[in-house]
Structure 1
Amino acid sequence: MSENLKKAIGSGDHLILVDGSSYIFRAYHALPALIRKADGLPIGAVSGFCNMMLKLLREQINGGKATHLAVIFDSSRITFRNEIYSQYKAHRPEAPDDLKPQFALIRDATRAFDLACIEQEGFEADDLIATYSRQACERGAKVTIVASDKDLMQLVRDGISMYDSVKDRVVDEAVVIEKFGVPPEKVIYVQALAGDSTDNVPGVPGIGVKTAAQLVLEYGDLETLLAHAHEIKQPKRREALINFAEQARISEKLVTLRQDVPVDTPLEDLVAHDPDPRHLIAFLKAMDMTTIARRASQVYDIDPTEIEPDPRMLPGGEGIVWKAPVRRETPATDLFVSAAEPNAKAASNKVDAAQSAAMALALQNAENIRKLPFDHKKYQTVQDVEQLEKWVERAREVGVVAFDTETTSLDVMQADLVGFSLAVTPGEACYVPLQHKSQDADLFGDGFLGGQIPLKDAMAVLKPLLEDESVLKIGQNMKYDWVIMKRYGATIAPFDDTMLISYVLDAGRGSHGMDELAKRHLEYATIPYSQVAGTGKNAISFQRVDLDKATAYAAEDADVTLRLHMVLKPRLVAEKLTTVYETLERPLAAVIARMEMRGISIDRNILSRLSGDFAQGMAALEAEIYELAGESFLVSSPKQTGDILFGKLGLPGAKKTATGQWATPASLLEELASAGHELPRKLLDWRQLAKLKTTYTDALPGYVNPETDRVHTSFSLGSTLTGRLASSEPNLQNIPVRSEAGRQIRKAFIAPAGHKIVSADYSQIELRVLAHMADIPQLQKAFADGQDIHAATASAMFGVPVNEVNSDLRRSAKTINFGIIYGISAFGLAQRLGIGNGEAANFIKQYFERFPGIRDYIEDIKKTCRENGYVTTLFGRVCHYPLILTGKPQERAAVERQAINAPIQGSAADIIRRAMIRMDDALKEASLSAQMLLQVHDELVFEVSDDEIDKTLAVVRKVMEQAAEPAVSLKVPLVVDARAAQNWDEAH
């Protein structure tokens, strides 16, 4: 700090004291992980600290600017409190590897702002803050402590308040009373009784914050309470207070802040003043904090281009003691190569220094996490509110908590909450049972086990945590837990999802379920569900699992999820995929959850009538099939069908399965039908009707939720390689839209009275993406002019004016247009068009001659995939193809076709994801009540009030057509066809 800057403090002055030590941890967990590009140096917490310092110096905090300001740090873990109680803070875990270098950097940042950077051996930062606060208050100054640490709340009084910078709120006496149930001057008594697991303050066993507050309010202080402990009516409480009286007195000494520290730096030296802007900006530029440097240069009116980065703080500079961890010999991007892909080590070696260092850090971090043992004996079963409150408080202190629910069903809209689990650090986890029953409980009675917190009481404690913006909630498939808790009145935010992080990092490398991720990343086998709930006839619901087994299973889930987050989240930064996760995956989870909860109405009468029609159609087809076969047989039997087609009629293409019966896949029946055989065609028609009847018209009524009277499908966000969503229970994405029968089924999806169904569908979005990515001028012009793209393609291919293109040419062009996207072969095209292989090959040859950019694009994609093992979409999504170098030609060709299509289909999927993420806010901003119900590939389905249709259509079109922007400016326009009708079919 600059010398000779002294000013006595008194009335009218404002002292701001920043709890630097606790802020480091808070910022680390609350803010995104950032690294310096040049060497991978972690700077996330430092960046947050610099932002806050700039705000403190320039803006009013708690009603005024600072006249005096200091940042206070802990000097070491060993203080005078360890002499009182040797185990004080003994259980605190080591700081994360990527946080450790930031301790020194934040001190450097404090000096760059020319602020007092204070720490003193033998004392905690809280003691220094308490001492300075008392001194300033005695001299008539106003004091604001920038912190969220509950231990500092004992200092709050007239003239001294706290400011929580993360929540942007002032902590005054009312907030303290809300927190502890007592005024600030009595907080130490509550803390002495309740203890503190974070600092290992023992307290009195069995007494939580609420009970402690009641006792303190009744008896006034700790000594008076202990003197009258024998009068306490509750036996357990009375015995605990008598037996642990001395422990309570020790705890009081531990939690009481010293206000008489002989501070080395006097108050008058803490004068707040503008820093030397050149020194500050030099530090910020060296740290690669260009945005903050630009803001600082504007504040202090200086040209940042004239200032060089501080050489001491550059990579290798004398001010930097951190070194990037040594990389493994294995290429950083080649993390997971399975035994099935021995030839797939095609990771890129062109990784810049920063990414290399960040990856090395992530790998080292993963190794450290894997070494941590699992100890199920340490997991706790939480059975009273006070114990739960301690866990919630612990989560708030850490700033991160893994959360998982246990329920009665996988049907999220009908499942009941049985319990939930929390984990705050590796190995520190608990299970909170809520509605467990004994195994012999009456089916119709509640039969709840004792020792469980009433659901209402548990939710009163849990809800504020789940909705606390300063605590990051971590889940595995958080969408499920989000819906469960929303049904119980709590909205989880903010959150991370380890399943989605894995999906972003490793799509194509393996599945993303927790058990598989634990094996892959933690080298740990989780407890199988069957081990706690049984299998087959002996299986029981989780609600009837014994509490000890339930705790081991559920707490482990939360513990594993937390560890997976610690392993996977740093890789997002290292592999430059943070933006993909934060813009395409995480925000979509809540959007999809809301869609699932809304559901859609169906008309059961229509479905019942269709079931009858389909049954009649199947019977008619069976009669024709029997006549063609010359005998009757069980049409639904593949074995009997194969015997007729190949055993009796001797049709070509016969192949046998491993069991020795004839194979009759749809693809083979299609080939036979294309060759002119009528029986296979009738069999295909019969199978189609049978599938529609069993899958939809018969089954859909069974999916109607009895409470909402609507159908609620489940969308999977991380199940396809290219980013497309999948639908299940029921699958509403596979209803045929091109067949009359399929369209009839869509008519059963209806809007309630006073509303309409709106269908908004991207027009030929994948062809538009292809035109952009392959940079095809002819296609781009056709789209820009609004031409019929298939007619335009036929015109370009066959040299015919657009207005003279007949239906046959257009059909051929359409088939090739879409076939090219999927890497179609001459054989495949011949099958689709019903022509010879030679003619089909000629069509493809002509296509590439007319659009040479497409062939170049295809070859570039294959080359890139072979070199890297993956391809990417326009928005950075990575699709891995580990078998791209397989030695099996057929298999390799199939993988290449997938790789060719993935950037196109994936980019289209990303575009509609971006539209969905923006849609709810856009509708709300326009004061519209429309609700998004379904997503089916390139189509969004809404339920809209009759009097808002025109306005809604305008908003929906605008959001969807501009969805790619500003990330990508497409060279072709996106066009959305949207219309409203009483049912889904008529709207489409």
Structure 2
Amino acid sequence: MAEKQHLYLVDGSAYIFRAYHRLPPLTNPEGTPVGAVYGYTTMLWKLAQDLDDADGPTHLAVVLDKSSHSFRNDIYPEYKANRPDPPEDLVPQFPLIRDATRAFSLPMVEEPDVEADDMIASYAYAAQDAGWDVTIVSSDKDLMQLVGEKDGAKIDMLDTMKDARIYIEEVQEKFGVAPELVGDVLALMGDSVDNIPGIYGIGPKTASKLIGENGSLAAALDAAPDMKKSKLKERLLEGREMAELSRELVELKSDCPLPIAIEDMKLDGIPPEPLADFLETHGFNSLLKRLEAGTGSPGRTTNLNPEKADTKGDEGTPDGNIQPLPEWPDVDRSAYTTVQTEDALKEWIARARDLRVVAVDTETSSLDAIAADLVGVSLALGPNDACYIPLRHGGSDMFDEKPEQVDFATAIALLKPLLEDDSVLRIGQNIKYDINVLARHGIAMGPVDDTMIMSFDLDAGRSQEGIGGGHGMDELAERHLGHTTMKFKDVCGTGKKAIPFGEVPLGKATEYAAEDADVTWRLHAHLARRMPDEGATRIYQRVDRPLIPVVAKMEREGIKVDRAELSRLSETFAETIGRLEKEIHKDAGEEFTIGSPKQLGEVLFDKLGYKGGKKGKSGQNSTDQSVLERLSGEGHAIADKVLEYRQLSKLKSTYTDALQEAINERTGRVHTSYSLVGAQTGRLSSTDPNLQNIPIRTEIGRQIRKAFVPESGNVLLAADYSQIELRLAAHMADVPELKEAFEQGEDIHSRTAKEMYGEVDRDTRAAAKTINFAILYGISRWGLAGRLGIEPDEAQEKIDTYFQRFPGIQSYIHSTLESVRAKGYSETLFGRKTWFPRINSKNQAERQGSERAAINAPIQGTSADIIKRAMARMLHALEAEGLNDVRMLLQVHDELVFELPEDDVEKASPVIERVMAEAAQPAVTLDVPLGIEIGTGPSWDDAH
């Protein structure tokens, strides 16, 4: 036992709701909802593991709310009155969550008429008075009042969601005051969740400032009469009574009787028997397997060891693990090697070439692969068989002592044959980044596998949270290996104290970098075994894996932008924004911050008295786009001006200003970063900068696209799939009328207008186009009504008519939903799965949202698969025709953008068209042709 007693108090009530919202609905063998129970159990399990891996508690208890009533309701009947009743499917899980706590053989505290926070406060102070350290496992701001030290005994907090400790410094950073004054700040600002009134109009910053300047709530209220006349003074004077009441409500009761003595909360171990019975009863098979892997010596909580776990479960489990892990040793960072000599590097390279498989990771100076400097490389050949090769370590000062390391040029020359060898498979996590970093040093990496993309092809949509949509290394290591990785911030620090990775001591750098390679190797071995059994091999090998080097090359190519034109547009936009601001202020009769939804709402609905103001939970009127468009339709000119003001402000900051900053100094071009896992349906997403959301149909958007230009002597070529999703819908839903229209080259929207309205004109075609796309996105009668500007009943008639004219579409929707409800996922024509864990949710909004997405996912996903296949084939096809100077630069949804010499346009255009038109073949033969539209010009806009 540790010399000093350390009590951990787990805020179990917070765990319950986190677990409920984190996981999809599940039922046990008896049909009882257990999604929250499963989540609570895994969170408690992980906590036990993490705590024992650290210094570990000597004593631990879980604290729960006994009931919804407390003494605070007697003081203020409206306390927590705003809180909705618990979800219907959560209520029967409350007793089961208590059973879960007992199954862990952990002390559980719940008392009537007080809240869990009060019991936590009482136990925390009792333990502190006894000289114990206390950690409260929670992120609840109310509990931050307890943080502090007394006679050497500390009370701190642990936020498990952020893996962060909260002590005095963190509380002061959040509230601007010491922990003992947090209650005063809370009393001033109030709390809408708990319905604590506070003083209306005083937010966190003002509350913190008042308490900080005056030293207490009482002092701040007493100082109000002497303040200069202001709105704040009025609020303080008028709201004193409410503030004092609020202070009483936020005060934690710390003298509650303790039903269990702190000495009896000793953590001696977790007997496996009751836990095993509980897990078996509720069908938590993957957790049961983990427990069975550690039943040899129950001991302390460390025996709940997911690192050695058999994580097998059924395909519908939230974590997606259906294959057991091999008997690997736990991750041991002390086993890693720092490679500092040529002989040692040659030995690692020789071993890697013998094994034919090596995990690779690079450490760099920046997240921008095109601009980053290479600092070091790590390799892994098996579990704990990993090394780090420092290349540019040492301080930035020329006089700083450099650690021993292989000469940079020598190391690159030695690594190049290994990394380019076609007979060696290189494994990476987001290896596209490493490909681009190494390409700058003359290394053209050979065949690769990417664990991030493998995870995506297995589990897209299944994970509800996490980095990279649930496919980042940290989350994958936690989910599949039961291992918590080192964090970059723990190695390099944060904020002003942060240091470059090249200045990290080699021992620590090796632990961090080699662990990345080690974990990647383990993930690959695990995911590769899952892929054939779960049907992910086809989509990975035929669509996503071949795309990795192609997208990497596109990122390196970048695209040229006309800085002068962007600057001119920024100035023009700024002038227009300034003019609009003056006109809006004139129309409003006062100056205000147009970008503030609160102030804008007050002007539109309180001062100008426009009808239809709709206040949200924050108490302020909504001023979103739909509200402004409605006001515009009613003839209110100020709404038109605000809409234009917002659009110009966004385009200026997001594009005309930001693109100038994004120009790479070395290449003179803008290099976006594409994510192959950014959208659940498989579409590529673009970031830093995002080049996929520039408006194409507005004059302003076209002006921005005109700033994208080729190098001298070249032109830009844009090749766009024409109405590909409607074509795929005609094929997948087997709609004869639509297939016939596409085969004959008809305008599909005109054909729909003829079917729907009996005549074709500008208005009916526009309405038909809206309906065509809206139906494929599972739109509701209310959604369609809003888009067409008609009543919901009339919109429903349009939907009914559409299904009568095209019954195949309705059949497709019904069969798709039935399949997804039964299997949990949708599939594209190429086998890409998208999971919808909330498709059977009892929460109507969650369920309907999943249904809408599930209807469109197979179509949009197939469209994404097709353009990816075209991209993967494109450069080979162009090279085969001797068109080596044609460069593929951008992918924007259904469009590919190329740069090429003007003399090559005539020869390249048919090649590009053919590759795109035949991209689905031979894997899939479509009943409709894929139409391709190609244009060229001196700018991206001109190419359309």
TM bin, normalised by shorter chain, reads: 0.5 to 0.7
Give 1:790's match in structure 2, choosing from 749, 764, 767: 749
- Which of residues 775, 785, 790 is equivalent to 1:835? 790
Aligned to 2:429: 476
Q: How far apart, CA to CA, are the structure 2 residues paired with 1:667 and 1:448?
A: 62
**Cα shift at 1:646:** 2.9
Partner of 2:346: 389
Contact 2:457 2:833 in 1 (8 A): yes
What residue is the counterpart of 1:630 in the other structure? 589
Do residues 552 (structure 1) and 514 (structure 2) align?
no
Give the C-alpha shift of residue 669 in structure 1.
Answer: 2.8
Counterpart contact for 1:580–1:875, Cα < 8 Å: yes
Q: Write the distance in 2 (CA, Å) between the matches of 1:549 and 1:421.
A: 13
CA distance 1:661–1:534, shift in 2 (3 Å): farther
Q: Is the 8 A contact 2:886 2:901 kept in 1?
A: yes
Other-structure match for 2:160 = none
Cα distance in 1 for residues equivalent to 2:322 and 2:800: 51
In the TM superposition, residue 708 of structure 1 has moved relative to its aligned partner by 1.0
* Cα distance in structure 2, aligned partners of 1:774 and 1:675: 40
Q: What is the distance in 1 between the residues matched to 2:399 and 2:725?
A: 54
Q: What SS does the corresponding residue of 1:987 show, helix, strand or coil?
A: coil
Specify the alignment match of 1:17 in structure 2. Answer: none
**1:35 maps to what in 2?**
none
> Which of the numbers 387, 399, 411 marks the counterpart of 1:458?
411
Q: 2:767, 2:788 within 8 Å by CA — same for their partners in 1?
A: yes
Amino acid at match of 1:796: E
Q: Which deviates further from its counterpart, 831-840 or 385-394?
A: 831-840
Q: Which runs of 5+ in 2 are unaligned?
A: 1-281, 291-312, 464-469
Structure-1 residue corresponding to 2:570? 611
Equivalence for 1:704: 663
| Matching of residues 90-489 of structure 1 within 5 Å | 366-369=324-327, 372-438=329-395, 441-442=396-397, 445=398, 447=400, 449-489=402-442
| Alpha-carbon separation, structure 1, partners of 2:321 and 2:696 | 47
Identity rate, percent: 52
Cα distance 1:421–1:828, how it changes in 2: closer, same or farther (>3 A)? same
1:968 maps to 2:924:
yes
Residue 818 of structure 1: aligned partner? 773
Aligned match of 1:501: 454
Determine if contact 1:435/1:448 at 8 Å carries over to the other structure.
no
Indicate how the Cα distance of structure 1 residues 384 and 599 shifts in structure 2: closer, same or farther if over 3 A, else same: same
Q: Distance in 2 between matches of 1:708 and 1:537?
A: 30
1:528 aligns with 2:487: yes
Residue 914 of structure 2 corresponds to residue 958 of structure 1? yes
- What are the superposed Cα offsets for residues 70-105 of structure 1, whole Å, 9 maximum, x if unpaired? xxxxxxxxxxxxxxxxxxxxxxxxxxxxxxxxxxxx
Q: 2:829 — aligned with what?
A: 874
1:335 Cα offset (Å): 13
In the alignment, residue 505 of structure 2 is paired with which amino acid?
A: D
2:272 is matched with none
Deviation, 1:712, is 0.8
Q: Does 1:847 align with 2:802?
A: yes
Conservation of the 8 A alpha-carbon contact between 1:475 and 1:495: yes
Deviation string, structure 1 residues 24-83 (Cα, Å, up to 9, x no partner): xxxxxxxxxxxxxxxxxxxxxxxxxxxxxxxxxxxxxxxxxxxxxxxxxxxxxxxxxxxx
What residue identity is the alignment partner of 2:808?
G
Shift of 1:446: 7.9
Alignment check: 8 A CA contact 1:434 1:454 kept: yes
Q: Does 1:892 align with 2:847?
A: yes
Deviating beyond 6 angstroms after TM superposition, the runs of 4 or more aligned structure 1 residues are 328-332
In 2, are the aligned partners of 1:437 and 1:446 still within 8 Å (CA)?
no
Partner amino acid for 1:761? D
Quote the Cα distance in structure 1 between the aligned partners of 2:811 and 2:869. 29
Alignment correspondent of 2:893: 937
Contact 1:618 1:686 in 2 (8 A): yes
Aligned to 2:937: 981
In structure 1, give the amino acid aligned to 2:437.
Answer: I
Name the CA shift for 1:752/1:885 in 2 (closer, same or farther; >3 Å).
same
2-structure distance, mates of 1:783, 1:477 = 39
Structure 1 position 648, deviation (Å) = 2.2
Answer yes or no: is the 8 Å Cα contact 1:762–1:976 preserved in 2.
yes
Displacement, 1:638? 2.1
Contact preservation (8 Å) 2:323, 2:530: no
Cα deviation, residue 767, structure 1: 0.6
Tell me the residue number matched to 2:474.
515
SS in 2 for 1:964: coil
SS of 2:386's partner is strand
Alpha-carbon separation, structure 2, partners of 1:521 and 1:680: 51
State the shift of 1:681 in Å: 2.9
Q: Distance in 2 between matches of 1:599 and 1:461?
A: 29
Paired AA for residue 508 in structure 2: K
Match of 1:243 in 2: none
Residue aligned with 1:733, SS: coil
> Would you say the 8 A contact 2:349–2:418 is kept in 1?
yes
- Residue 96 of structure 1 is matched in structure 2 by none
Give the drift of 1:608: 1.2
Which amino acid in structure 2 is aligned with residue 964 of structure 1? A
> C-alpha distance in 2, partners of 1:728/1:424?
33
TM value normalised by structure 1: 0.62
Contact 1:629/1:644 (8 A) holds in 2: yes
Taking only aligned residues, the RMSD between alpha carbons, in angstroms, comes to 2.3
Contact residue 314 and residue 322 of structure 2 kept, 8 A: no
Name the counterpart of 1:759.
Answer: 718
Matches of 1:491 and 1:883, distance apart in 2: 43
Give the deviation of 1:434 after TM superposition: 0.6
Q: Does 1:921 align with 2:890?
A: no
Q: CA deviation at 1:593?
A: 0.4
Equivalent position amino acid for 2:632 in 1: A
Q: Quick one: structure 1 residues 401 and 836, their matched pair in 2 at CA, closer, same or farther if it must change by over 3 Å?
A: same
Shift of 1:606: 1.1
Please give the alpha-carbon distance, in whole angstroms, between the structure 2 residues aligned to 1:799 and 1:851.
Answer: 15
1:647 aligns to what?
606
1:471 is displaced (CA, Å) by 1.6
Among 641, 645, 650, the alignment partner of 1:691 is 650
**Which residue of structure 2 lines up, in the alignment, with residue 46 of structure 1?**
none
Contact 2:322–2:530 under 8 Å retained in 1? no
- Residues 212-241 of structure 1: CA deviation (Å, up to 9, x unaligned): xxxxxxxxxxxxxxxxxxxxxxxxxxxxxx
1:379–1:489 distance in 2 versus 1, CA, 3 Å = same
Distance 2:682 2:323 in 1: 28
Secondary structure at the aligned position of 2:363 is classed as strand
CA contact (8 A) 1:580 1:877 kept: yes
Task: Give distance in 1, aligned partners of 2:837 and 2:323.
Answer: 25
Judged with a 3 Å threshold, the aligned counterparts in structure 2 of structure 1 residues 366 and 670 are, in CA distance, closer, same or farther, namely: farther
8 Å CA contact retained: 1:747, 1:986: yes
Does the Cα contact within 8 Å between 1:376 and 1:552 map onto a contact in 2? yes
Of structures 1 and 2, the larger Rg is shown by 1
- SS where residue 928 of structure 2 aligns? coil
Per the alignment, residue 167 of structure 2 pairs with none
**Mapped partners of 1:669, 1:508: distance in 2:** 33
